[in-house]
Amino acid sequence: MKAIDNFFRNHKEKDGGPAEIRYVKDESELMKFVPEIADQLHINHDVAFKSVMEYGKHRGWV
């Protein structure tokens, strides 16, 4: 979960600007980060999905 937390804290917008993600309004918005997280953490998409959903529940987003 620490790696997922770091991803959201250090996330950069496509233009390179900082964009710490403090709030995600729903599950579909959270799911759009799964491919990027899977690539950055070198894990498969199923593991990334489960980890992201667990993190979202922990943060109270979903």
Q: What is the pLDDT of residues 38-55, one digit of tens each?
A: 999 999 999 999 999 999
Residues of the chain with pLDDT under 50: none
Give Dmax over CA atoms of the chain in angstroms. Answer: 29
Helix (H, G, I), strand (E, B) or coil at 27: helix
At position 62, the amino acid (one-letter code) is V
Residue 50 near residue 37, CB atoms below 8 Å: no
Measure the N-to-C terminal CA separation of the chain; round to a whole number of Å. 16
Residue 24 DSSP code: -
Beta bridge partners of 12: 18
pTM of the model: 0.74
